[in-house]
Amino acid sequence: MKNFKARLINHKDQRRIAVEFENKPTLRQRFKKLRGAKWSASKRVWHLPDNKTYRKQFGLPIYNHNLLSEEKINQLEYFNNWLTAQRYSESTENAYLNVLRVFLMFFNHKSLADIENEDIILFNNDYILKKKLSNSYQNQFINAIKLFFKTVENRRIDVELIQRPRKEKRLPKVISKKEVKAILDAPINLKHRTILTLIYACGLRRAEILSLKPTDVLSDRKVLYIEQSKGKKDRIVSISDDIIELLRDYYKAFKPKTWLFEGQTPGKQYSPTSIQAVLKKAVKKAGIKKPVTLHWLRHSYATHLHESGTDIRFIQELLGHKSSKTTEIYTHVSNKSIQNIRSPYDDL
């Protein structure tokens, strides 16, 4: 891209693309709209995820030929194309390729044919555990290496020999209805208010709100159609008359063409970083001190549904969860049952 100079860096045990440009507000705003754009205070540079799309966009080689052998570069290319053909999400593709690139560099002295189960265990112990990398990174590695060798080498790596990290049991972050209302009432901009309202009112993920099209609003049936969300599943959620009225006002004002929510350029999808900035500004204006994220609104939607008496099986369908066990976690943060429990202190 013109006016931007890119190079590869390592940042927090991840390969990233550092991008340098003149400190002009127009260029800075243009860069911040890119998905995954972040500022590193320690390195004093803006950076992006290292993926195929950004490498092409900024004129970098798809893989660094100075670091990996030609054999491994070709196999990564093959695996990348296979993931794309199988319709894996872009985030999963990037996660798998990044961890595989690190793994293959770790054994750069070995050919693919010579890599064995013992090497997988060694990498897990001497790289992932030694560097105290996250549980999710460790699971990504195990999933990626298993699929890579099955696809590329047509041989099975016994990942069962690697002990997966114990699953962390964390409760979803939830805010009260009063706090939700304060956040939704905060934005003056109609588009911003509509985005945040729809996320909470329908329990949407960020990727889902960004992928909506005007035709997905079925006002005559009072439902919102969510196409190919997480797990490649379609689902529908109900929308009230108030939401339909809000969407009509929004549509009249902004007249979106391709996507329901578009950026400044007609037909271009709204930026993920912009939507997070919209929420951050609304939270601050509402006077809420909690570090509320977009996913907190989805968690709050599910919890408030449960507290109002909605059956957990219906909540599972509305959220698009594959397993009811995933949905049942909301019973642990719901006040519905907890408030009825009498503490033994009250009997003292």
Query: Catalytic amino acids?
Result: 205, 230, 295, 298, 321, 330
In the chain, the largest separation of any two C-alpha atoms, in whole Å, equals: 75
For the beta sheet containing 45-49, the strands, ordered from the edge strand earlier in sequence to the opposite edge, are 5-11, 14-20, 45-49, 38-40
- The distance of Cα 289 from the centroid of its chain, to the nearest Å, equals 23
Query: Strands, E, within the chain: which ranges?
Result: 5-11, 14-20, 38-40, 45-49, 217-218, 223-229, 233-238
- Ordered DSSP codes for 229-260: ETTTEEEEEE--HHHHHHHHHHHHHH--SSSS
* Cα–Cα distance measured from residue 126 to residue 144, given in angstroms and rounded to the nearest whole number: 18
- Please list, in sequence order, all residues whose beta carbon lies within 8 angstroms of the beta carbon of residue 338, skipping any fewer than 6 positions away: none
Among 197, 223, 199, smallest CA distance to 211 is for 199
The three-class DSSP label of residue 2 is: coil
